[in-house]
Each structure stands twice: as C-alpha cells, then as structure tokens.
Structure 1
Amino acid sequence: MHFQSPGAFVINVGFVTIRWYGLLIATGFVIAAIMAHHLARRWKLDPEQVTNLCLISFIGGIIGGRLYFVALNWSSFWSQPLEIFAMWHGGMSIHGGIIGGFLTAAIYSRIAKLPVLRCFDLGGCVMPLAQAIGRWGNFFNSEAFGQPVPDNFPLKLFIPRESRPYQYFNHEYFHPTFLYESIWNLLVFLFLYHFASKKLYKYPGLTFLLYIDLYSLGRLMIEPIRVDSIMAGETPVPIIASAASLIIASILFLALLAYYKKKGITVPIPD
C-alpha cells in the first residue's frame, strides 16, 4: 500500500483558499472538544466552562506550537518576520502546542475556579485524538516523513521531488511516519479515554502525566526514522524534548501516586 498526497489545498479558487493542514487541525479540535464535553458530564464538570476551556486551550496551543517552531527555526524567519504569521504554510511544533495549551488551561482553570489537575486530566484524555487527526495534515503537505524505503515496502509514502531532502533526491518512497504517529496517538486516546479516565479518576493529575509518558514514548520510537527533524548537534530536538518529558512525567507520576497513597487521598468516582 502506498500513499500520495493529492495536494495541500482543499479549495484554491481565486481568493478562496482552504488548506488540508488547517482544516484537519480544526477538525481534530472540534472532535476532541466533543469528546471532552461528554467526559466532563461524566466527571460532573460544568460543560459550558469546559467548552470555554477547550477554546482557550486550543488558541494557546496554536500560539505555543507556532512560537516553539519559529524559535527552533529562527534562521529561516529573522529575514522575513511576516512569515511567522503564515501558519497556513505549515510549521507547528507539537511540544510547543502541548506547553501552550496546558499553560493556558491552567490559567483559565484558576480564574474559573475549576480543579486544575482534573482539567489537565480531561485534556490528556482527548489531546491524543486531536493529534491523531491533525497528523494527517503533514500527509497533505508532504512533510514529517521518514527515511527512504524500497519499492516493495508494504507501507510507503510518495514524496514529490520538491519536498525531498537533497540527500534523498533520487528516492521516491519514504516511511509514512505521519501514519505511524497517527495510529499511536489513536491507541493512546482509546486507552486513556476508556480505561485510564476511569481507573485513575480518584488520583487527579495521573491521567495527564500518563498521557505525557505515552505520547513521549511514541515520539521516541518514531522520531529516529524521520529525516526532517530539527537538530541540536547530532540529536533531533524532538528526541531530546520527548526524553526529558518522559523522565519528568514518570517521576512526577510516581511521586504523586505515592503522595496520594500515603495521605489516603482519593476523589470518589461520580455515579
């Protein structure tokens, strides 16, 4: 089976331009927000406040993801700063999006007097679904792909010449890493939404930390085969960020669980 992008545009007629990249990010947000709304009802959270939380977190995630990407690619933006705002050309960092989204979620939760850790758990449950959908934007943009594969490889992605790194100019097919990560994120969502959200409900914050752990683990498995990662010396920046996130989240998970167990603190599961 091989994949080939039909192009980056859904519609490109006159002044009407809609890109798959933006459409899929928006679609992922809407579907994730709907799932968050259902989970909020189960957790006895105010659905209206959760809707506001989702919108604010989405805006924070977009800003954080873009700023993180720009910071890592500043040499490409300093001479043409207006390109910073041209997000329709692609260029978002998931790690930056996570930081921006959860930072704004924390601020809004405090202002709205919502339980911060519970809101983090809510976001951790539905974020992987948004990411699973949004990753397909990379497919349509012919970006975020892996190393070359032979013609007989069972899963392969055709990349047009203009999108290939110069060292792989003569190769046509590459690992569809967008697909690998999309599948991984979907599995993480199913696990967190249908299992962890129930089993870990009485320990606020643990579902969120488990999301960080699982997402980071997936990136650590997939990132080594990508060819377009931003590098820090000889190491891809996403690997550094994912390894650090995995270690920190794991330590916090164990420490928070030990604290809850020691203090006998649990939150009753809603009926």
Structure 2
Amino acid sequence: MVNLISLALNPIAFYLGPIEVHWYGIIIASGVLLAVYLAVREGAKRGIKSDDIYDMILWALPAALICARLYYVIFQWGYYKDNPGEIIKIWDGGIAIYGSLIGAMIVVILFCRHRFIPVWLMLDVAAPTVILAQSIGRWGNFMNQEAFGQATSLSFLQGLHLPHFIITQMYISGAYRQPTFLYESLWSLLGFLVIITLRHNPNWFKRGEVFLTYVMWYSFGRFFVEGMRTDSLMLSGLRVSQILSIVLFVGAIALIIIRRRNPSTPWYLEGSKLKVNQ
C-alpha cells in the first residue's frame, strides 16, 4: 500500500539561504496584493484616492497580522504559556481570521477619521476584496494541512469529484478529513462574485451595506463550516467562531435596518462626494 502521508505537499516553497519560504506566506501575500489592487480600482470610482488606500494598508496589515495571532494565542493559552517561543511562529499557521478583521477594522476607523474619509464607504470598497483574499488564503491552510474537518472516507472525497492532489492532502494523522478549508474558500469566492455583481446596481446598497452584506455572508457560512472543524478555538465548551458568527450576522442585519431608517444615509454609488455624518 502506498504511504499516503509521504505524498503530502511540501509546505516549504523554497529556501533563501537558511530561510524557509512557506507556501502559506506566499498564498496569503498573493491574496492581499490582489485585494489591494481591486480596492484601489474600486476606490477610484468612489472618490477615494489610491494613496489613501496604500497608506491605510501599511497600517492595517501589521495590525491585522498581530491581532490575528493574538486572538489565536489567547484562546490557546494553555499551550502557549508553556511554549512561549512558539508564539511568533506564524509561518506554521495559527492565525485567526476574525482576529485579523478586528485589528484591521480598528485601523480603518482611526485612519479614515484622521483623513476625513467616510468610514462606511471605505469599508464598502474593501469588503469584497477582503472576502476574496480570505478565499485565497484558505489554500495556505491547505498547504499546511490545517483547518480541516472530521474524519471521513476516501469514497466520500472521491464522490465530491475533487482533484487527486486535494484528496491526497486531506489524508492527515492516519485518516481522510473533511476539506473544510475548501468549503470556506468556495463559499467566500461565491460571496465575492455575488457582491461585486450586485454592488453597482443603482439604489440597491446604502453606504455601509456592501460591507454589512459581506459580514452577513461570511459569518453565515463560517458558522456551518466551523461546526465541521476539529481545531476550533473553544470557550466554555462552545466554539468561539460560531458564537462570533451569530453575533456578527444578527448585528449586521440590525445595522442595516437602523441605517435604512435614516433618509440622509447616502447610496454607495454616490461615493465620497457628499459630506455625511458618520
């Protein structure tokens, strides 16, 4: 019998002298670069300068990375308090998307207030590109053989008509696993396509609603995918990401209803030409 574990893809892409360059980092960086490019293009149509987006990214990326790691470490403190040297090893995985979103949100709000840019508009411009980056980033988890689900059978994976390299990579710790990374990646990609298809329709989205639609879409899918994973961060026996998904989904709906009641809320397509009370 072929040793399936030996056929797993190498998480290291190449070496720069003694430095290991991981596929995880390459994939995450690729998703971020594509997201920035698309955000700059859309921002130009909505009256946001490209320099403002670049400057914001320079602050948002480090904050997102730090908060993503802190979020993960906090909920895995039982391990990291005994292995503090492992805390900085983000190249081995262990960053939480929700943590990164929290960090990036804080920076976006502070930055936009400083530059007098409508916060909701900036979030609207960025949201579709963020969910696309999330879709791409899940393939970094694939290369690291993480963010997988419960044990399943070879016949089940074959029944999904997955490429052989995915099935092989899903053989982890002596069993085939649910490819939850793929489920979330495809859900995020579908969300990206839906949002960018709809966002330019006149009188569909008030300012802030593109972003809030992203929040609802992602949190809805993440709730179900998280329920299939085996590596969930836990709090008092509950999955942290599922709790947060519920809060975000309900909160986004509530904000849309509240903002819709304000007739002065501009439409997304009006861009930044109007000065509004944020």
TM-score (norm. length: structure 2) = 0.86
Letter in 2 for 1:74: W
Secondary structure at 2:21 match in 1: strand
Secondary structure at 2:100 match in 1: helix
Aligned to 2:232: 229
> Where does 1:12-31 land on structure 2 (aligned, <5 Å)?
12=15, 14-31=17-34
8 Å Cα contact 2:12-2:20 kept in structure 1: yes
8 Å Cα contact 1:129-1:185 kept in structure 2: yes
Q: Which moved more, 1:111-120 or 1:227-236?
A: 227-236
> Where does 1:98-247 land on structure 2 (aligned, <5 Å)?
98-153=101-156, 154-155=159-160, 157-158=167-168, 164=173, 170-171=174-175, 173-199=176-202, 203-247=206-250
**Cα distance change of structure 1 residues 198 and 48 upon mapping to structure 2, 3 Å threshold:** farther
Secondary structure at 1:17 match in 2: strand
Secondary structure at 2:199 match in 1: helix
Aligned to 2:269: 269
Letter in 2 for 1:133: I
Q: Which moved more, 1:101-110 or 1:27-36?
A: 101-110
Aligned to 1:34: 37
CA distance in 2, matches of 1:186, 1:160: 21
C-alpha RMSD over aligned residues: 2.4
**Cα distance change of structure 1 residues 5 and 181 upon mapping to structure 2, 3 Å threshold:** farther
Aligned to 1:45: 48
Measured after TM superposition, the shift of residue 79 of structure 1 is 2.4
Measured after TM superposition, the shift of residue 36 of structure 1 is 0.2
Residue 254 (structure 1) aligned to one of 247, 254, 257 = 257
Question: Any unmatched runs of 5+ in structure 2?
Answer: 161-165, 272-278
CA distance in 1, matches of 2:63, 2:200: 24
**Cα distance change of structure 1 residues 116 and 160 upon mapping to structure 2, 3 Å threshold:** closer
Letter in 2 for 1:92: I
Measured after TM superposition, the shift of residue 158 of structure 1 is 4.1
Measured after TM superposition, the shift of residue 157 of structure 1 is 3.8
8 Å Cα contact 1:5-1:141 kept in structure 2: no
CA distance in 1, matches of 2:39, 2:201: 14
Aligned to 1:167: none
Secondary structure at 1:225 match in 2: coil
CA distance in 2, matches of 1:103, 1:52: 15
8 Å Cα contact 1:25-1:134 kept in structure 2: yes
Secondary structure at 1:269 match in 2: helix
Measured after TM superposition, the shift of residue 231 of structure 1 is 2.0
**Cα distance change of structure 1 residues 150 and 202 upon mapping to structure 2, 3 Å threshold:** closer
Residue 84 (structure 2) aligned to one of 69, 81, 86 = 81
Question: Any unmatched runs of 5+ in structure 1?
Answer: 165-169
Q: What count of residue pairs does the alignment treat as equivalent?
A: 260
Taking only the aligned residue pairs, the percentage that are identical comes to 31
Measured after TM superposition, the shift of residue 178 of structure 1 is 0.6
CA distance in 2, matches of 1:200, 1:76: 50
CA distance in 1, matches of 2:103, 2:34: 20
